[in-house]
Amino acid sequence: MDVGVYLAAGFVRASNTAGVLPELTPVILTPVFDARSLIVMTWHSRSACRDENPELFFPIGNADPAFHQIDKAKVICRRCEVADTCLRWAMESRQDDGVWGGLSADERRALERRIARARLIGRAAPDLR
């Protein structure tokens, strides 16, 4: 049984690959090792977003208000000392939503495609930023 534990919206989600449904348990946010990522989330305590409203980083929709919200989140990411680590963690742990490391979900998917294409043709993968 392969078990991973990761932070998700103020909850710890325990999951396994044996087909058992994940359980959500409320917790105080603490560094948790994510088996999908070699990066421990201790960097979060140094992030520029730690005192911001988390909803800012998870816009809903694809209309103008969501784009403005993404831009505001990116402004915070630009002054963050751990933005590169945040982005790397988000990509390694397959975060599907939100702004992580200064990139939106769409931008991270595009970067992932560029990395995959570079690997296919045998070139070095592009930088995460």
pLDDT for 27:
41
Q: Is 59's pLDDT higher than 70?
A: yes
This prediction has a pTM of: 0.64
Cα distance from N-terminal residue to C-terminal residue, the chain: 35
Q: Where are the domains of the chain?
A: 1-36, 38-129
Please write the tens of the pLDDT for every residue from 36-58.
555 567 888 899 999 999 999 99
CA distance 43 to 103: 17
Side chain identity at residue 84, one-letter code: D
Residues 6+ apart with CB under 8 A from 110: none
